[in-house]
Amino acid sequence: MQELVYPQMFLPVVEQYGANEGVIDGAYRATWSQHLDRVSRLCDSLKGQLGIEKTDRFAVLALNGHAYLELWHAAFMGAGVINPLNLRLAPRELAYIVEDSGTEVVFVDTTFAPLVAAARAEMENDPIRKVVLIGEGDAPHDIGYEALLSSATPQLPPTPDENDPVVLMYTGGTTGLPKGVLVEHRAEILNIYHAAMTIHVEVDTYLMQTPMFHAASMFGILGAPAHGGRIVTIPMFEPEGVLKLIEEHRVTHTLMVPTMLGLCMASENYRPERMASLQQLIYGASPMPAATLDRVLEELPNLDLVQGYGMTESSSTVSLLLPEDHVKGSPRLKSVGKPTIGCRVSIQDEDGKILPRGEIGEVCVKGGQMMREYWNKPEATAEVFSGGWYHSGDAGYLDEDGYLYLVDRVKDMIVTGGENVYCAEVESAISLHAEVEQVAVIGIPHEKWGEAVHAIVVRKAGGTVTGEAIIEHTREYIAGYKVPKSVDFRDEPLPLSGAMKVLKRDLREPYWEGHEKKIG
């Protein structure tokens, strides 16, 4: 069959840039040729020693590092289907994913080896045949990662078909049992093509700070190497560690979610010049608070900002807001940009009717980068692809120029007194208060209104702002019915998922306990 896309896209990188330093992981250094040698040995080991065929699943539960990158690239060589596991899951959740996916081999580091052991104790039918330990340390395992590679021959598998599966990535599970998103080579490669054609960027040094189990890391895993640049990894996000690596390696490109960016800028040792080498910052996964965005534009005026919107089911990217739209005061800063080249977006009502520009409905997507299916869930797959469009569950609208605006998750919408209130708009207004560090807006039960708008705020260090002051401040930015009826304050940070999104279900639970109707 004639290939429409080339799954093994990493090979041309080595042919052109093989002698370039490619991977920096603490003291570890490798050129792209050395990296390919290790990936080739890993491919040989997966088949010869571990019995993994190209459609079999192997899982990874580990911190970011060069081994994790090698495992990703082995999957894209056609050696198997990678199942990257969320580091923040409980043993019971991990047990469900491993059993549901039929994963037979698990790669784990010493940090998470006990979690794998605990998950196996929860399984009724443990499918794991081998546990491979990444790095040094004393932890239950069958074979060490380096021993596996040292006994193998550098040998790549046959080029996979573009329709072969390559990733089985489970959603966060914040609203029930996780769903496995099965993505083909074609979709992942097209996702990179779509983004590259839209952004037009060449990467020199990329900092991998998003967790490598997350779809947001695909730009670093596939996109950054395509230019022969370097990938610098940090095991786990930590503000001072990120700032140090940016300075030390003159990092030019990276991706953060707004929570991470805010934590870096709130770091005691943060200074704008520590991030001066950055040429481009991609952000996404959750709305950027208006105050944070204003600060970045003011303190880092030479930094190109790109906002990305997408989901695991779209191989990560649906739309991008480009640097030329990041102008202070521009109304387009409230959007998530235009669909990437090759991707279609429509706004639909509950009956699947496409709505005209400007009307709010569900964001629906079509494109070659979409997932094949939810693993073992044909009914859920059929439902989410109803009418031939992927139904995102996000509420939004398109303006006359084709820019996409998100107003919230459909399930996060608060209905108070018959009026719809979208939490993201309220959160953005509250975030503009000088003493607010973090904010989440939820609906809580109210006898008269059904639900009331409620804000949960983390003050900045030394802050003394009151709930009454927050409410009065918010009135300056949004309509009265959207203003919080009440405000609670927390001393500890808001709870976050592995993807660094606020766990609103956890925040809602105490307020809805004992009520027949529950939001979440």
> What DSSP string runs through 89-133?
--HHHHHHHHHHHT--EEEEETTTHHHHHHHHHH-SS----EEEE
Question: Phi and psi at residue 504, in whole multiples of 5°?
Answer: -65, -30
The encoded tokens of residue 231 equal: 């990938």
Q: What number is the average pLDDT over the span 44-58?
A: 97
> What digits encode the pLDDT tens for the residues 184-216?
999 999 999 999 899 987 899 999 999 999 898
- Please check the confidence at residue 519 and state whether its pLDDT lies above 80: no
The encoded tokens of residue 408 equal: 């919230």
Confidence at residue 119, expressed as pLDDT on a 0 to 100 scale? 93
Only one residue has tokens 């491993």, namely 98
Q: What number is the average pLDDT over the span 455-475?
A: 95
DSSP state of 157: P
Work out the percent of the chain whose per-residue pLDDT is above 90.
70
**Domain segments of the chain as ranges:** 1-337, 413-512
> Do 1-337 and 413-512 come out as alike in CATH topology?
no
Are the CB atoms for 289 and 306 separated by under 8 Å?
no
> What digits encode the pLDDT tens for the residues 391-429?
998 889 999 999 999 886 666 778 787 677 878 889 988
Q: What is the pTM of this model?
A: 0.84
CATH class given for the domain over 413-512: alpha beta
Are the CB atoms for 288 and 305 separated by under 8 Å?
no
The chain-wide mean pLDDT, for the chain, equals: 91
| Residues 6+ positions from 107 with CB-CB distance below 8 Å | 58, 59, 60, 61, 62, 67, 71, 132, 134, 145
Question: Phi and psi at residue 423, in whole multiples of 5°?
Answer: -60, -35
Distance (Å, whole) CA 300 – CA 290: 15
> Which uninterrupted H or E stretch holds 222?
none
Strands across the sheet containing 57-61: 143-144, 130-134, 105-109, 57-61, 81-84, 165-170, 180-184, 373-374
Considering only 100-114, 246-260, 418-432, which range has the smallest mean pLDDT? 418-432
Q: Which amino acid is at 299?
A: E
> Domain 1-337, what fold?
Rossmann fold (3.40.50)
Are the CB atoms for 207 and 254 separated by under 8 Å?
yes
Confidence at residue 174, expressed as pLDDT on a 0 to 100 scale? 37
